[in-house]
Structure 1
Amino acid sequence: MIEPTKFKMSIPKPVKSKSFLFFLCYFIFSFDLHAQEEQGVRNSIEFSPQVSLGVFTAQNKLTGTAYGGELIYHMNTVANPRPWMKMLNLKSLDLVFNYKNMSDIVMVSDPRPDRFGDSYALIAAFNFSLLKTKNTELFVTPGLGLGYLGETWFTNENVLVGSHLNFSSRIALKLATRIGPATKLSAGLDILHFSNGGTRVPNNGMNVSSVSLGVVQSLKTASAKDTAFWSRPAEYKKHSVDIGLAFGRRGVYRSKGGLYKTGLYAGYNYRLNAVLGLSTGVDAVYYHTIYDPLRNVETYQSKAGSYDRWRVGLAAGPDLWMGKLGLMAKYGYYLHYNSVQDIKTYWTAGLKYNVLNWAAVQAKIYIHQTEADFVGFGLIFTP
């Protein structure tokens, strides 16, 4: 593939004092706590310093250690849970702020220092209980949010990252042990992922696995009255049909330009219960710009490249419902795709939220093997 001329631009680095403000908030909260635990269920705040076990990508070898930490606000859901919360043993809804200093991380093939800068992420997460004894509990916490990476291809030719702003996903396994009336000690393992979903290329993404040790401090009691709005069960149809529309953009290689696509979907849903469902349907993607060998740099889309305006596939997979919020994942086979690289299968994953009984907003990513194509945002109609 022909590479365009490299260029640089200067973008100021984020102010590192942001992390100090979060730490300061933690200490302000801690001085306002009650010495004895009140009756009821409490929200809590957690501070966990972290050190990386490894930083890695799919195509490049990295070495070095990343240091940082997390500040987490746990909003307890035990006081008055919805049915799906009971079924999944959800203990809290979490807001996670994650910071990483990656100045020590270098690429083996290009060991120049300070290639990645600092990273910041703000993530919404679900905290599920797996095992519990009298004083100790094991949790798994998946989450999704937005992240900021300090350096990109356009600031210092970082070949892994094409944009400052990225989607950020995280999954953590944590063990919490009570050491006082309102205090717990936590230890955990987690993986944090950064990727822009193909909106700007290159987009190899970055993964950071870390170990943490921290403190969880209880705050104000969350009473049943405080969380009464959670107790209303969400209604659902056992059989339904979805018609979806999503619009998105894939980045042009090492450029700030983009190639736009429109995704259409029509499918059938079967709900097993309030939490689990199965769905199958047809995905159609319209290319506003197709691949042209005479314009290789401007139209190249790697595994997502097409000589035709349309590609069509049939996919199936599970849906996980948490009230009005659904998480969807499907694996599909192409019925028609005049692919530049002879791609036959694809993945889709996403979120949908029912704003009405017959309409939802959605965010949906299309993936070939491990490579993101594009993220589409739009609507789903359920007649």
Structure 2
Amino acid sequence: MNFQKPLNIYFLAFLLSFLISNLNAQENKTAQNSIEFIPQTSLGVFTAQNKLAKTAYGGELIYHINTTVNPRPWMKALNVKSFDVVFNYKNMGDIVMVSDPRPNRFGDSYALLGALNFSLLKVKGTELLVTPGLGLGYLGETWFTNQNVLIGSHLNFSSRIALKVTTQIAPSTKLSAGVDILHFSNAGTRVPNNGMNVSSVGLGVVQSLNAKRVIERDTSSWRKPIEYKKHSVDFGVNIGRRGVYRSTDGLYKTGLYAGYNYRLNTVFGLGAGVDAVYYHTIYDPLRNGATYQSNASSFDRWRVGTALGPDLWMGRLALMAKYGYYLHYNSLKDIKTYWTAGLKYNALDWAAIQAKIYVHKTEADFVGFGFLITP
């Protein structure tokens, strides 16, 4: 059974549910949203292991949802200017691999992302912004369509970060210019999964929409910082799937976690803990094709490591990242370190749902979906 599409859809729903839950954070004041269109050309298209050449063209259509009217405490602390819904298109028909310059290997790409727009600096009508985002992407060609050795699936997770400057040229119009990096990867659910990165530069226009009066409602609880424990412990479990090379089959893994959290304030925290991953299928040299998992290949059922890293809290949602060292890993490739990243959402005061990716160097192992309990 192919679980890749459901897993990706659940992840996008998880992300967008947070976005939707925050759209009504204003009260009885006017909010001015805007639309931005920015044509782009690539500065470079690259992967971690392969050189690519020529140019990709495309652009972004962005809907900015204003958050500056009665922002929540974490929005104010981080200087969040807007929530963004981003549609990204790239024509990559001209892109070729330097080692194998056959044409038409990559086709078009599409991405739909939710993003946060942070204001770094503002001087009169000119503003410097940084916008990280996450979502889903679609790539036109894969190993299964034209033996594209870099991409194993049409559906991918997509992330993007942009650095922009906007300047006012009319009462409701701004010019925007910036650079960004867009990343596609399926987190190992279908292999090959070298991923693709597109660095682009663009010049566009931001048009403000008519200001709207927000419906009056009681949002006093929204403007208060969410209460949190300064010291806490987490116990988590998740399950995920890594693809078999050039196959639609998959190998399942279960991740366990136990850790300690220290909250510095309402936005920032630190966590340290132990990761244990159980292999439902271990590496067998006699069945290399069916059990090989690259840097994640293990001769034992368990690998165990300890990791440390920060959490960035946005209300009940947190971005988490940790770098770790293995205490036990009987690895085919003698891997000593790993890192993890993900999202967790406190659905209850004592429980959270999570999406968590495990990575060796720049290579994704698998993404697991599950929950955390905080007694």
- 2:203 counterpart (206, 209, 213): 213
Which residue of structure 2 aligns with residue 77 of structure 1?
Answer: 67
Which residue of structure 1 aligns with residue 342 of structure 2?
Answer: 350
Within 1, Cα distance between the matches of 2:152 and 2:227?
Answer: 42
CA distances 1:109-167 after superposition (whole Å, capped 9, x unpaired): 11111100100000000100001011110100000100000000000000000000000
Within 1, Cα distance between the matches of 2:218 and 2:267?
Answer: 20
Within 1, Cα distance between the matches of 2:143 and 2:184?
Answer: 15
Which residue of structure 2 aligns with residue 199 of structure 1?
Answer: 189
Q: 1:226 to 1:98 in 2, by over 3 A?
A: farther
Which residue of structure 2 aligns with residue 370 of structure 1?
Answer: 362
Tell me whether 1:148 sits opposite 2:106 in the alignment: no
Which residue of structure 1 aligns with residue 314 of structure 2?
Answer: 322
Within 1, Cα distance between the matches of 2:328 and 2:48?
Answer: 28
Within 2, Cα distance between the matches of 1:367 and 1:321?
Answer: 22
Q: Which amino acid aligns with 2:181?
A: I
Count of aligned pairs between the two proteins: 345
Q: 1:122 to 1:128 in 2, by over 3 A?
A: same
User: How far apart are 1:225 and its partner, in Å?
Assistant: 4.9
Which residue of structure 1 aligns with residue 258 of structure 2?
Answer: 266
Tell me whether 1:292 sits opposite 2:277 in the alignment: no
Q: 1:226 to 1:118 in 2, by over 3 A?
A: farther
Q: Which segments of 5 or more consecutive residues in structure 1 lack a partner in the other structure?
A: 1-38
Q: Which amino acid aligns with 2:346?
A: N
Q: 1:378 to 1:140 in 2, by over 3 A?
A: same
Within 1, Cα distance between the matches of 2:175 and 2:33?
Answer: 16
Indicate the percent of aligned positions where both proteins have the same amino acid: 78
Within 2, Cα distance between the matches of 1:110 and 1:350?
Answer: 35
Which residue of structure 1 aligns with residue 147 of structure 2?
Answer: 157
Tell me whether 1:114 sits opposite 2:86 in the alignment: no
Which residue of structure 2 aligns with residue 63 of structure 1?
Answer: 53
Within 2, Cα distance between the matches of 1:321 and 1:226?
Answer: 27
Which residue of structure 2 aligns with residue 331 of structure 1?
Answer: 323
CA distances 1:252-301 after superposition (whole Å, capped 9, x unpaired): 01111110000000101000000000000010000000000100000000
Per mean C-alpha deviation after superposition, the further-off stretch among 70-79 and 234-243 is 234-243
Counterparts of 1:273-288 in structure 2, within 5 Å, are 273-288=265-280
Counterparts of 1:85-100 in structure 2, within 5 Å, are 85-100=75-90
Within 2, Cα distance between the matches of 1:226 and 1:311?
Answer: 53
Q: What is the RMSD computed on CA atoms of the aligned residues?
A: 1.3
Q: Which amino acid aligns with 1:286?
A: Y
Q: Secondary structure at the match of 1:220?
A: coil
Q: Secondary structure at the match of 2:141?
A: coil
Per mean C-alpha deviation after superposition, the further-off stretch among 212-221 and 345-354 is 212-221
Q: Which amino acid aligns with 1:270?
A: Y
Q: Which amino acid aligns with 1:167?
A: F
CA distances 1:211-232 after superposition (whole Å, capped 9, x unpaired): 1111111113255657975534
Within 1, Cα distance between the matches of 2:212 and 2:323?
Answer: 41
Counterparts of 1:157-236 in structure 2, within 5 Å, are 157-221=147-211, 223=213, 225=215, 229=219, 230-236=222-228
Q: Secondary structure at the match of 1:353?
A: strand
Contact 1:47 1:70 (8 Å CA) reproduced: yes
User: How far apart are 1:79 and its partner, in Å?
Assistant: 0.3
User: How far apart are 1:85 and its partner, in Å?
Assistant: 0.8
Q: 1:292 to 1:74 in 2, by over 3 A?
A: same
- Tell me the TM-score normalized by structure 1: 0.88
Q: Which amino acid aligns with 1:164?
A: H
Tell me whether 1:304 sits opposite 2:328 in the alignment: no
Tell me whether 1:238 sits opposite 2:230 in the alignment: yes
User: How far apart are 1:40 and its partner, in Å?
Assistant: 4.2
Contact 1:79 1:227 (8 Å CA) reproduced: no
Within 1, Cα distance between the matches of 2:215 and 2:273?
Answer: 42
Which residue of structure 1 aligns with residue 305 of structure 2?
Answer: 313
Flag as ranges the 4+ runs of structure 1 deviating above 4 A: 222-230
User: How far apart are 1:377 and its partner, in Å?
Assistant: 0.5
User: How far apart are 1:244 and its partner, in Å?
Assistant: 0.7
